[in-house]
Amino acid sequence: MSLTQKSANKVCNGTLTKYTFTSSSLGSLETSINVFLPSSATSTSPKPVLYFLSGLTCTEDNAAQKGGFFSAAEAEGIALVFPDTSPRGAGIEGEDESYDFGTGAGFYLNATKSPWDKHYKMYEFITSELPSKLSDLPIDTKKASIFGHSMGGHGALTLYLKNRDLYRSASAFSPICNPTACPWGEKAFNGYLKGGVEEGKQYDATLLLKEAKDGVKILVDSGTADDFYKQGQLLPENFEKVAKDKGFKDVQVRLQDGYDHSYYFISTFAGEHVKFHAKFLKQ
């Protein structure tokens, strides 16, 4: 195994371990992940895995420290994996200038535009390389679901909708639901993709849902006091409309009264999201 352990903390009777490794999909840069194993995980009893994709500016640490997921994950016997939100240290000019592009803002896509295309391949990293790196841990990566927050909610929904064979369910807190129609998504797609927003349509959860076959299992929570929701960056209503038009009964979009975009919101519903995925992961 090419994982290097950096730290370990006992939490909620399980263990959170930070690992680093050199990522081939991210152009041979070192990346860090946090992995939570419930106490019941052993080599003879590997556990299902739930990936959490964080939002703009975050690292692998924010959701581990503030998300409040461990109590439910321990109770359900589910492993959690928290990757970083972008490659780091690619050395591209302008990489660190914006909070919403470059470092900390990989948008879970495969960049096709130079110079970003050498390192910014978070889509390939999450869907392909990351599961292979977990092979020596007591994790059954064939039983996987995915969730995330904001940009990471966009990542969770799109990676799920594009890879129904890899993930059993998806959920999201305050996701960017329709990135081809909001400023964050337009900036990312125009920056990372040769074909700009047009090419970005393949990474738009609302458009992907239009093409989806039935059986999708999705839970979305968004807060009504979320400034980014008010600014039209998230557009859960567009996603919900498609779900209704398609008659997808297992897509729930909930607007939570008075909640904002913060980890206080995430931690409030953290246990509920873990339990949502447990239904499918433990089948």
Q: How far apart are CA 122 and CA 250, in angstroms?
A: 27
* CB closer to its own copies out of 16 and 79: 16
Q: How far apart are CA 243 and CA 167, in angstroms?
A: 19
**Least spacing, CB of residue 43 vs its own copies, in Å:** 19
Q: Which of 4, 5, 9, 28 binds its own copies (CB under 8 A)?
A: 9
Q: Which of 46, 48, 68, 148 binds its own copies (CB under 8 A)?
A: 68
Q: Which of 3, 66, 113, 201 binds its own copies (CB under 8 A)?
A: 66
- Which of these is catalytic: 145, 150, 174, 222? 150
* CB closer to its own copies out of 125 and 263: 263
- Does 65 bind its own copies (CB under 8 A)? Our answer is yes
- Does 38 bind its own copies (CB under 8 A)? Our answer is no
Q: Which of 11, 90, 181, 255 binds its own copies (CB under 8 A)?
A: 11
First CA to last CA distance, the chain: 29
226 is catalytic: yes
- Does 61 bind its own copies (CB under 8 A)? Our answer is no
- Does 16 bind its own copies (CB under 8 A)? Our answer is yes
Q: How far apart are CA 266 and CA 144, in angstroms?
A: 20
Q: Which of 12, 92, 197, 255 binds its own copies (CB under 8 A)?
A: 12
- Does 203 bind its own copies (CB under 8 A)? Our answer is no
* CB closer to its own copies out of 63 and 166: 63
User: How many CB atoms neighbour CB 180 within 10 A?
Assistant: 18
Yes or no: say if 221 and 173 are a contact pair by the CB < 8 Å rule: yes
Question: Which listed range, 3-11, 113-121, 164-172, 273-281, lies at the site for its own copies (CB under 8 A)?
Answer: 3-11
**Least spacing, CB of residue 32 vs its own copies, in Å:** 17
Yes or no: say if 144 and 51 are a contact pair by the CB < 8 Å rule: yes
Which residues, 225 to 264, sit near its own copies by CB under 8 A?
225, 258-260, 262-264
* CB closer to its own copies out of 123 and 265: 265
* CB closer to its own copies out of 198 and 227: 227
Beta strands 79-83 and 139-149: pairing type?
unpaired
Q: Which of 265, 274, 276, 277 binds its own copies (CB under 8 A)?
A: 265
Just list the catalytic residues.
150, 226, 261
